A and B are shown apart, each in its own frame.
Chain A
């Protein structure tokens, strides 16, 4: 059974960089069969896609955040990571990692439980 688990600080100060890691079990990121995604949801708002990456380093980012978002993959640890720079209170959200099948332009067949990140001093 494929499982994804987000980890990282729950509190980030404004202007700093938010960093999260998604650990994958039950599948090998290095297999190259999928894209690995980050999605977030601020309280009371829609789910917002942040970006995707495959094991060969092909990345796509949401144009609305492109200059601040970086996604990387560590196949040796079977993990992928999110880095979001220059955060403000509007970046406070539940952050999810998800596996994308038949990507790019695919659907998300497995999700992590999500982790709440609050941006505050």
Chain B
């Protein structure tokens, strides 16, 4: 199975500041057939379903604010919140869908400093 490792496990950021979450996979998620990275990011707020934020490593899901962006390729990926808002306090997960079984990172908690 592909192992997904996120860093840090938690971070505290001041409102309006940038938050950066890293995700590393144990093997490349870049497909040579379509040049796409099979990596998604999700947000989980307390008591709510997980919400898809980003897929194909950098494509924002419809309705997701543009302060959320994804980048990276191969084995190293980043989720950036450009200007943290109070409603962004949540747990964030990365997930690979390059191979079965799909696997997830351990999650990163984002809090307000």
Spell out A's residues near B (CB within 8 Å): 4, 46-49, 60, 62-64, 96, 98, 101, 104-114
- CB pair A110–B49 under 8 Å, yes or no, is yes
Residues of B80-113 contacting chain A, CB below 8 A: 93, 95, 97-107
Given A47-B93, A47-B104, A49-B103: A114 and B98 within 8 A (CB)? Answer: no
- CB pair B100–A105 under 8 Å, yes or no, is yes
* A49 CA / B104 CA spacing, docked (Å): 9
User: With a CB–CB cut-off of 8 A, which chain B residues contact A60?
Assistant: 100
Q: Count how many chain B residues have C-beta atoms less than 8 Å from C-beta atoms of the other chain.
A: 24
Q: Closest 7 interchain pairs by CB?
A: A47-B104, A111-B49, A107-B40, A111-B50, A107-B55, A62-B101, A49-B101
Distance in angstroms from A58 CB to nearest chain B CB is 12
User: With a CB–CB cut-off of 8 A, which chain B residues contact A98?
Assistant: 50
A-B contact count (CB 8 A): 52
- CB pair B50–A108 under 8 Å, yes or no, is yes
- CB pair B98–A46 under 8 Å, yes or no, is no
Name 22 interchain pairs, CB-CB below 8 A, sorted by A: A4-B49, A46-B103, A46-B106, A47-B104, A49-B101, A49-B102, A49-B103, A60-B100, A62-B101, A63-B101, A96-B50, A104-B100, A105-B98, A107-B55, A107-B97, A108-B40, A108-B50, A108-B95, A111-B49, A112-B49, A113-B47, A113-B48
Distance in angstroms from B80 CB to nearest chain A CB is 19
Spell out B's residues near A (CB within 8 Å): 38, 40, 42, 47-52, 55, 61, 93, 95, 97-107
- CB pair B38–A105 under 8 Å, yes or no, is yes
Distance in angstroms from A27 CB to nearest chain B CB is 15
User: With a CB–CB cut-off of 8 A, which chain B residues contact A105?
Assistant: 38, 97-100, 102
